[in-house]
Amino acid sequence: MLLEVKDLHVSYGAIRALKGISCQVAEGEIVALIGANGAGKTTTLRTVSGLIRPQAGSIIYRGQPITKLPPHQIVSLGICQVPEGRRVFTRMTVLENLEMGAYSRKDRANIKSDIERVFQRFPRLAERKAQLAGTLSGGEQQMLAMGRALMSRPTLLLMDEPSMGLAPMLVQEIFSIIQEINQNGTTILLVEQNAHMALSIAHRAYVLETGELVLAGSAKELANNPEVRKAYLGE
């Protein structure tokens, strides 16, 4: 198993954000976490990437506990997060943002070819490589955030709300790129409000409600589950 989350508890002061969740991600999968706002989805990703320390529980990556490691060490192990709201470096160019994504790498010689690969995958970024990231559209910033994360050569990519604030046509494009990234060998743990899109590309999924896992199964099973359809698919 690539990633195992066991009995994770996280609190913000008196608020219990995660109440003992356990989930797994196998190599090569796209696993979706779905649920309403405030369910604990983003908290789960931030805890896996070391940005939040849990009160209890463990996170195992490739058989090794990473629960107490700082974020930069977790990145160097092969876990990278595309944050909610994109968080690009607005005063830096597209190219500089991509170079920042490779900051932890020692193999400087391969960085240039990886940047070219990102430009092949996202031709719009190639056209705008000298442009300040803050002047890009929302969709282009999402592509840049994804490209920047790929520059760290992750084995596991954590994606937080990639469709947020995007026009429906762009959402389709972003999700097909996520599938392509997965088919090229990157495992993905996806947090997404748009449950319909998430379940259409995921292999498996978990449903979170107020910090607890209430359902788990194949994406197909959950997409056909009457409770899920009513609560998250608007049917």
Q: What is the pLDDT of residues 175-202, one digit of tens each?
A: 998 999 999 999 999 999 889 999 999 9
Which pLDDT band holds residue 235 (cuts at 50, 70, 90)?
A: low
Nearest to 191 by CA among 67, 40, 88: 40
Residue 230, both tokens: 């009513």
Q: pLDDT tens, 4-39?
A: 999 999 999 999 999 999 999 999 999 999 999 889
Where does the pLDDT of residue 112 fall: very low under 50, low under 70, confident under 90, or very high at 90 and above? confident
Run of H or E residues at 187: strand 187-191
Listed in sequence order, the residues at least 6 apart from 129 whose beta carbon sits closer than 8 Å to its beta carbon are: 93, 94, 95, 119
| DSSP state letter for 130 | T
Residue 207's pLDDT band, with cuts at 50, 70 and 90, is very high
The larger pLDDT score, comparing residue 46 to residue 86, is at: 46
CA distance 70 to 125: 31
Model pLDDT, residue 70: 95
**Structural domain of 67:** 3-232
On the question of pLDDT at 104 being above 80, the answer is no
Digit-coded pLDDT (tens) for 146-167: 999 999 899 999 999 998 888 8
Report d(CA 76, CA 68) in Å as an integer. Answer: 14
Could you give the number of structural domains in the chain?
A: 1
**Has residue 82 got a pLDDT over 80?**
yes
The pLDDT, as a whole number, for residue 81 is 87
- Which H/E stretch holds residue 54? none
Q: Tokens standing for 15?
A: 């608020």
pTM value > 0.75: yes
Region 63-75 average pLDDT: 95
Measured in whole angstroms, the distance separating CA 70 from the mean position of its chain's CA atoms is: 18
Contact between 175 and 169 (Cβ < 8 Å): no
Look at 95-109, 134-148, 176-190 and tell me which has the smallest mean pLDDT.
Answer: 95-109
What's 200's domain CATH number? 3.40.50.300
Q: How far apart are the C-alpha atoms of 74 and 51, rounded to whole Å? A: 10
DSSP state of 81: E
Distances (CA, A) of 173 to 2, 54, 80, 166: 27, 35, 21, 10
Could you give the C-alpha distances from 102 to 7, 58, 61, 132, 142, in angstroms and in order? 32, 28, 21, 18, 17
Q: What span, in angstroms and rounded, lies between the C-alpha atoms of 190 and 163?
A: 11
